[in-house]
């Protein structure tokens, strides 16, 4: 069920060192159920390693695709962060409902805790507010299912007053950022724009609004949300296509044709890919420039969580840029973006 990894999945070097241990989250909870392994055992067996040569973080074990497919098709078929963008969850009403219904004996307890944490940490300037920042247990991020309910009840009225509009780049706003759009325009001109991965949380609507020709690139997915990801009974991608009327390009079929999209957005996706260099070469056949958003795990908690096979930072992107003879741009700054890093290959 797990394959031992002997070489860096990007540069194939076999020189690496221990980087960090894992923490529990929703995916480790589900994987431990599927694999019938105690969650603590699973979490301690899998480690994050760091490649000496290209700097990529990768796992000592690759969990077989079929278990991830089970998670993404059956256990968590709907991408939680994707569906939350544009949902009504970041609201006083929904917060009240969660606080009222939260109960340690309820089977939905863990989910409610995570939702409460997500709402509170999406409030603008969350980390500077004493009535709020306790919720992540003094960590920069915390997907665990523990919450001080007494404190929540004590603070709930102060918290609900602050629930108005979610901060940019947080769970309920996604990557549809006007500041990011302006930044990209300043860097280069582009007429066509595509995305792959989750159709719900990116810049497709905004790009269309700004007159760009938009596309979605469909890839056969095992390690990511796919056909069973639905909004109101309709597949997420179909739902988005109905709203925005974009063309769907097939990742495979299209790769040898001459048409290239000017700019391709790959947001929080690269870390799901088993063979990253092959994937990146293929992206390069589909698009002229690529903009990547990845977790800024180094300044967060140095954790690359169980559902992510790799962790990306400047060094591995430089390695890729050199191999593909591309230039790298990485100076996007935004106070709400600190949990992420942005890299452009052009």
Nearest to 159 by CA among 194, 187, 122, 131: 131
Dump the DSSP string for 27-66. HHHHHHHHHT--HHHHHHH-EEEEETTT--EEESEEEPHH
CB closer to Zn ion out of 165 and 302: 302
Q: What is the closest distance, in whole angstroms, from the C-beta atom of residue 61 to Zn ion in the complex?
A: 17
Q: What is the closest distance, in whole angstroms, from the C-beta atom of residue 54 to Zn ion in the complex?
A: 3
**What would the x/- binding string for Zn ion be over residues 51 to 90, using CB under 5 A?**
x-xx-x----------------------------------
User: Rule CB under 5 A: is residue 8 a binding residue for Zn ion?
Assistant: yes
CA distances from 254 to 202, 285, 346 (A): 22, 9, 20
**The two structure tokens encoding residue 180:** 């990011």
Beta pairing, strands 47-51 & 192-196: unpaired
Nearest to 170 by CA among 207, 201, 136, 142: 201
Q: What is the closest distance, in whole angstroms, from the C-beta atom of residue 317 to Zn ion in the complex?
A: 12
Alpha helices in 143-260 (DSSP H): 149-161, 178-187, 204-209, 236-244
Q: Which one of the spans 9-17, 122-130, 166-174, 280-288 is the region binding Zn ion (CB under 5 A)?
A: 9-17
Q: Which one of the spans 48-56, 64-72, 261-269, 288-296 is the region binding Zn ion (CB under 5 A)?
A: 48-56
Q: Which one of the spans 2-10, 174-182, 198-206, 250-258 is the region binding Zn ion (CB under 5 A)?
A: 2-10
User: Rule CB under 5 A: is residue 285 a binding residue for Zn ion?
Assistant: no
Q: Which one of the spans 44-52, 109-117, 265-273, 329-337 is the region binding Zn ion (CB under 5 A)?
A: 44-52
Q: Which residue has the tokens 């278990």?
A: 67
Q: What is the closest distance, in whole angstroms, from the C-beta atom of residue 60 to Zn ion in the complex?
A: 14
Residue/partner pairs of 227-236 with CB below 8 Å, 24 or more apart: 227/73, 228/72, 228/73, 228/74, 228/77, 228/78, 229/72, 229/77, 229/78, 229/79, 229/82, 229/83, 230/77, 230/78, 231/78, 231/83, 231/200, 236/78, 236/79, 236/82, 236/83, 236/198, 236/199, 236/200
Q: What is the closest distance, in whole angstroms, from the C-beta atom of residue 53 to Zn ion in the complex?
A: 5
CB closer to Zn ion out of 7 and 252: 7
CB closer to Zn ion out of 203 and 270: 270
Count of residues that interact with Zn ion, criterion CB under 5 A: 8
Find the Cα–Cα–Cα–Cα dihedral 187, 302, 83, 77, rounded to 10°. 130
CB closer to Zn ion out of 72 and 312: 312
Q: What is the closest distance, in whole angstroms, from the C-beta atom of residue 9 to Zn ion in the complex?
A: 8
CB closer to Zn ion out of 57 and 198: 57
Burial label for 66, CB within 10 Å (0-12, 13-18, 19+), is exposed
Which of 1, 7, 13, 103 is close enough to bind Zn ion by CB under 5 A?
Answer: 13
Beta pairing, strands 287-295 & 261-267: parallel
User: Rule CB under 5 A: is residue 153 a binding residue for Zn ion?
Assistant: no
User: Rule CB under 5 A: is residue 11 a binding residue for Zn ion?
Assistant: yes
Q: What is the closest distance, in whole angstroms, from the C-beta atom of residue 319 to Zn ion in the complex?
A: 7
Q: Which one of the spans 3-11, 117-125, 213-221, 281-289 is the region binding Zn ion (CB under 5 A)?
A: 3-11
CB closer to Zn ion out of 55 and 174: 55
CB closer to Zn ion out of 11 and 214: 11
Residues contacting 13, CB < 8 A, separation 6+: 7, 51, 52, 53, 54
Nearest to 344 by CA among 262, 274, 285: 262
Q: What is the closest distance, in whole angstroms, from the C-beta atom of residue 50 to Zn ion in the complex?
A: 9
Q: What is the closest distance, in whole angstroms, from the C-beta atom of residue 17 to Zn ion in the complex?
A: 12
Q: Which residues bind Zn ion (CB under 5 A)?
A: 8, 10-11, 13, 51, 53-54, 56
């Amino acid at each position: 069920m797990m394959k031992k990894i002997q070489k860096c999945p990007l540069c194939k070097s076999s020189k690496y060192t221990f980087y960090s241990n894992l923490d529990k989250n929703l995916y480790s909870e589900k994987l431990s159920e599927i694999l019938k392994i105690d969650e603590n055992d699973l979490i301690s067996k899998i480690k994050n390693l760091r490649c000496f040569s290209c700097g990529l973080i990768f796992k000592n074990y690759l969990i077989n695709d079929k278990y991830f497919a089970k998670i993404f098709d059956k256990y968590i078929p709907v991408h939680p962060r994707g569906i939350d963008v544009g949902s009504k969850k970041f609201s006083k009403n929904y917060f009240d409902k969660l606080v009222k219904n939260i109960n340690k004996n309820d089977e939905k307890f863990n989910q409610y805790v995570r939702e409460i944490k997500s709402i509170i940490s999406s409030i603008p300037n969350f980390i500077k507010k004493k009535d709020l920042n306790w919720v992540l247990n003094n960590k920069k991020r915390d997907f665990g299912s523990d919450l001080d309910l007494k404190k929540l009840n004590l603070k709930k009225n102060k918290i609900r007053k602050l629930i108005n509009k979610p901060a940019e780049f947080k769970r309920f706003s996604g990557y549809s950022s006007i500041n990011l759009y302006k930044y990209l325009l300043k860097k280069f001109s582009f007429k066509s724009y595509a995305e792959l991965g989750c159709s719900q949380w990116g810049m497709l609507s905004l790009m269309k609004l700004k007159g760009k020709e938009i596309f979605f690139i469909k890839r056969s997915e095992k390690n990511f949300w796919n056909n069973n990801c639905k909004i109101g009974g309709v597949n997420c991608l179909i739902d988005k296509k109905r709203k925005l009327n974009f063309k769907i390009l097939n990742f495979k079929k299209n790769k040898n044709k001459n048409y290239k999209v000017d700019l391709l957005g790959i947001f929080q996706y690269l870390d799901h890919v088993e063979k990253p260099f092959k994937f990146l070469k293929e992206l390069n056949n589909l698009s002229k420039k690529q903009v990547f958003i990845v977790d800024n795990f180094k300044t967060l908690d140095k954790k690359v969580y169980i559902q992510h096979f790799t962790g990306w930072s400047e060094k591995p992107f430089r390695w890729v840029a050199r191999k593909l003879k591309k230039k790298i741009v990485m100076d996007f700054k935004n106070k709400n973006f600190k949990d992420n890093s942005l890299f452009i290959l052009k």
